[in-house]
Amino acid sequence: MKKVYMAIFIALLGCSSCSKDNDDSAPEPPGTETVELSMVDKSATAETKALYARLWDIQQTGFMFGHHDDLFYGRKWYDVSGNSDTKEVCGDYPAVFSVDFAEIMDDRCEENEANAVRKRCILEARRRGEVIIACCHLNNPLTGGDSWDNSSAEVVRGILEDGSAVQAKFKTWLDRLATFAGELKDDQGKPIPVIFRPFHEHTQTWSWWGKSCTTEAEFIGLWKFTVNYLRDTKGIHQFVYAISPQMDSVKREEDFLFRWPGDEYVDFIGMDCYHGLNPATFSSNLKTISELSKKKKKPCGVTETGVEGFTDKDYWSKQILTPATGRKVSMIVMWRNKFVGGNESDMHYFSVFKGHASEADFIKFHANELTFFSSDLPDMYQMPENVEVN
């Protein structure tokens, strides 16, 4: 089922309404002029270039719904192949599967059974034609603390110092990621493309790579070092490189470009937007990121969002769909639903699940012409018409 393309077809026939919900604010049909995009990795695989083009193409007509760790666990289940809190509510998987690569890379990797689950989930998502996006809550390679350990301003400085012990350790972590990426193959044996967003929320102070621990030059140096090592040294050509500042309040274009590594080092403009129940803030930031995307000719999207423990019955229509209408973003990805077993008092969830108050609204959200779920996707790994990537 291709809801958006059907809507465009109807619009071209002169129908006054192109939404199942009679939403007269649906986007205009895409034009026929060829758009030329440029990627960080000029040697990216054909499937990776196609995914990149599709990200641009899809945001002209709607946005993909995504959910972090949706295939890995849910509020009441853990590691069950085929399960999904999203699917249990609407009968469809998210279009975007978000996952964390940190435990694949850092010193938690040894005998970590969860990494086999991560791999299985990625393979299953790709088999259905879904999009994979990965963050990295990496431990602190200098202190041994977690990613929230911002006790030292020497971490990134050490990574960038040739021959240092910290650089050697960090390279080992990147080596592990390269090995894991090399094992991600589709059913035809081709590398599976991944939207890779390292050092997310770098605009905040909480992380060892954030603004309290690094200078602008150090953060940019870390970003370039990571891209150069994976792309040029390790020969990984299946990554779309995404940056994702945290934009919780109303932000301007210059805020999105805080410590920007350069157009030649960024493919995808993301944002982590934890704005609470404030759709006006969300709408404003969606407008800003859409405009920046158009200006730089780079696809964009919301790489994390949600409200922890929300109970609003109309959350999806009022807090997500309405602010996103008329904006051009390729995806909106909700943060995770923690596995809590029978502990209903634990409210760490950011998306819908069976029994949640917003179930009915989410079903309408799924049916809306603007939202792409798994079954709505075109072939994300075949180049669309009217988009070229170099």
Q: How far is CA 359 from CA 141, 276, 288, 302, 355, in A?
A: 42, 19, 30, 22, 7
Number of Cβ within 10 Å of residue 206's Cβ equals 15
Kindly state the DSSP code that residue 375 receives in the 8-state scheme.
G
Burial of 375 (0-12, 13-18, 19+ CB in 10 A): middle
Residue 330 identity: S
Residues 47 and 51: their CA atoms lie apart, in Å, by 6
CA distance 371 to 291: 20
Question: Choosing from 304, 344, 359, 369, which is the catalytic residue?
Answer: 304
Kindly state the tokens that stand for 374: 């798994």
CB 141 within 8 A of CB 170: yes
Indicate the residue type of 215: T
Indicate if 254 belongs to the active site.
no
Are residues 372 and 64 in contact, defined by beta-carbon separation less than 8 angstroms? Answer: yes
Distance between CA atoms of 356 and 89, rounded to whole angstroms?
Answer: 9
Q: Is 344 a catalytic residue?
A: no
Tokens of 38: 């440029």
Nearest to 157 by CA among 147, 148, 149, 167: 167
Question: Pick the catalytic residue: 47, 103, 130, 201?
Answer: 201
Active site residues: 201, 304
